[in-house]
Amino acid sequence: METMSILILAIPLFMFILLGLTGMKMSHKLAGTLGCLGMGTTLVLAYTVAFTYFFGGSPEFINAAGERLQSILWNVTWLQFTDKLVIRLGFLLDPISAMMLVVITTISFMVHLYSMGYMRDHHGVFEKGFQRFYSFLSLFSFSMLGLVVATNIFQMYIFWELVGASSFLLIGFYYTKPSAVLASKKAFIVTRFADLGFLIGILVLSYYTGTFNFTELTSAPVEGLANVFQVSETTAEGVKGIFANSAAPLFMGASVMTWALVLIFMGGMGKSAMMPLHIWLPDAMEGPTPVSALIHAATMVVAGVYLVARLFPLYLMEIRSLEIVTVVGAVTALYAAIVACTQVDIKRVLAFSTISQIAFMMVSLGVARPEFHHGIGYMAGMFHLFTHAMFKALLFLCAGALIHAIGSNDYTAMHGLRKYMPITHITFLIGCLAIAGIIPFAGFFSKDEILTACFGNSMLWYVWMSAVAGLTAFYMFRLYYLIFWWKEHKIPEGHHAPHDQPWTMTLPLVILAAISCVAGFVPFGNLVTWNGHPMFDHVSFFTNLVHLDWTVAAVSLAVAIIAIIIATVMYRKENPLPAKFKNAMPALWTWAYHRFYFDELYMFITKKIIFDHICKPIAWFDRHIIDGTMDMFAKVTQRLSISIRGLQSGNVQTYVWIYLVGALLMASIVWLCLL
């Protein structure tokens, strides 16, 4: 197991180095094949480790009571500051890291395979930089895998930043395209601001607790087993006690622990594109579509959710921090859903859908309480992370197939494609049904569990998130009908009709569609819970159906069906209803179409306020006062040197006379002083 865990990280890193250094000397096909083989091997190893953890029955992974344990497979010292303050690099295997191993490697392998067809034109010519693209994919996979198996929060931060760097490289892959360059810089800068808060939170937390290790912050050792731990409320209470007994327990009305957790959550807000740090994600669609599927649908953007889940026992100790998570998530979910209803670029619709769904997961963690269904919100959030990764990656890859066939991101160029691209049509429909929450597709089960958690916490959040779920169903089927059902465009003479793409692009769609159909039946309640305790006594294929809260499920299903019916009436065929809807609320539609002018607001703040009113005066002061003062000294020195350079005549007799005169003057001064 230890060897396999090392290889899971080592193989993607090796492929990055190999393809990065020697890729240009390989053929495009060889580079792509090596990338796929490397990721395929990592996939097999990750699946083996995950299935061994969940179903192997080892006492290192599950105890006699059926409770899931945390096992550190290896942990090496990197930096040691004090006896207690040590930074280690290791591999932590527990329910959420095992789940993420499956998610990351599955989506990454599908993207690797898909890119073999996507990254070349209709004539089979590979894009420039194809080898570099696969190198960057391997780097990102390595970074994300290192993040989720981190044994301590500083190791997570290291890989967190590496994920940001690799994301920057992939978003800006088309470096000759100005919009892609701007998008990559925007993503990098926005997330760096968030990561600064994350770093400060880490330092505050480690300063008071004296440790970076997750197991020391949230867990207790299991007696009789080395490097095996179990999530413990007692440990979290002890951490809270450390902060409560500190010299400065309060700052601006909140405890230092609350501030530490909120600052850490700030890092998660940036990575997961939560308001107001969401502006980078829609623009990141400038990167290749497989990048969108990998980074911005299934893996990178869930890092914030994973961070909160990893430290969830601490967040439970500070309910106010969880309330902040809930509010931020709920506002973001509604905002993104409204904006998605007005976009015409299919990738931007999916981008705002991603923001909304990630916010769904945040809300689920925020409303989770142990006293209600054993903290069902935590399980539901992780369940939705798993299912969403599959059907959202499916939707993005379908979008890529459409763009590859049509040559445009705009839905107005894609009407009536169900006749020409039947496989893409069916798989896209499955993705829409899954994200809309229609039984028995995957999204139905995870979304229902989230709404159940909201219902148990607050009626406000239940109604709020139900409305978001309805909007989700509406805008996804709006997109579906506009692409596949509206009156088809006449194919220009001399152009080929759109068609399904090669098997390298089609096979991932079929696999992800199949997973989206059955993933909802995975008994997550017995695999992933916040404290490792199983939620069900007996499990079967129909466990999730049996244990559903059918009151909540029936309402959410009705909301989704009504939303789909409305979308069907408005968009199944060309009619004046969309225009009437737009004209009925022109201000709201305009604001939503322009993303509520957040980008313009940021530009105003940065350019008009920061640059013009703060940076320009500072630049003037630096240029005229600081530099001017230094220039003045230089000029004075230069003029003095010119005025006295005549003394350097080269005549030795003159130098002797000056020396004698100087000596006499010095002697006179000394004599006068002695009188």
Q: What percent of the chain has pLDDT over 70?
A: 96
Burial profile 565-599: b = 16 or more Cβ within 10 angstroms, e = fewer? ebbeebbeeeeeeeeeeeeeeeeebeebeebbebe
Res. 121 pLDDT band, cuts 50 70 90 = low
The pLDDT score that the predictor gives to residue 123 is 60
Q: Cα 39–45–47 angle (5° rounding)?
A: 100
Taking only the tens place, the pLDDT of each residue in 523-544 is 888 888 888 888 887 777 777 7
CB 366 within 8 A of CB 329: yes
In this prediction, residue 637 carries a pLDDT of: 86
* Omega within 30 of 0 (cis) for the link into 440: yes
- The token pair at 637 is 């020195």
255, containing H or E segment: strand 254-255
Segment 251-286, tens digit of pLDDT: 666 778 888 899 999 998 988 889 888 888 888 888
Q: In the predicted model, what is the mean pLDDT of residues 455-478?
A: 91
**Distance of alpha carbon 436 from alpha carbon 432, whole angstroms:** 6
Is the pLDDT at 493 greater than 60? The verdict is no
pLDDT tens figures, 353-388: 999 999 999 999 999 988 887 788 899 999 999 999
Mean pLDDT calculated for residue range 620-648: 83
The answer to whether residue 249 scores a pLDDT higher than 60 is no
Nearest-angstrom CA–CA distance, 258 and 251:
9
Whether the predicted pLDDT of 228 surpasses 80: yes
Kindly report the number of other CB atoms within 10 A of residue 56's CB atom.
13
Cα 185 to Cα 43: distance, rounded to the nearest angstrom: 31
Position 174 pLDDT exceeds 80: yes
Alpha helix ranges (H) inside 23-118: 28-55, 95-118
Q: Which residues contact 365 (CB under 8 A, 6 or more apart)?
A: 305, 308, 309, 312, 315, 322, 325, 329, 377, 378, 381
More confident residue, 649 or 293: 293
Band of residue 458 on the pLDDT scale cut at 50, 70, 90: confident
pLDDT tier at 71 (50, 70, 90 boundaries)? very high
* Sheet of 86-93, strand order: 86-93, 70-80, 228-231, 219-221
Beta carbons of 527 and 427 less than 8 angstroms apart: no
Helix (H, G, I), strand (E, B) or coil at 613: helix
Reply yes or no on whether the pLDDT at 495 is more than 60. Answer: no
With contact defined as beta carbons under 8 Å apart, do 187 and 280 qualify? yes
- 406-424 burial code (b ≥16 CB/10 A, e <16): beebebeebbebbebbebb
Statement: residue 40 has pLDDT above 70: yes
**Is the predicted pLDDT of residue 248 greater than 60, yes or no?**
no
Please check the confidence at residue 575 and state whether its pLDDT lies above 90.
no
In DSSP terms, 86 is beta-bridged to 80
- Predicted pLDDT of residue 148: 92
Length of the chain: 675
Angle at 562 between CA 561 and CA 564, to 5 degrees: 65
Q: Give me the phi and psi of 19, to 5 degrees please.
A: -70, -35
Q: For residues 528 and 384, is the Cβ–Cβ distance under 8 A? A: no
Instruction: Give pLDDT tens digits for 96-110.
Output: 999 999 999 999 999
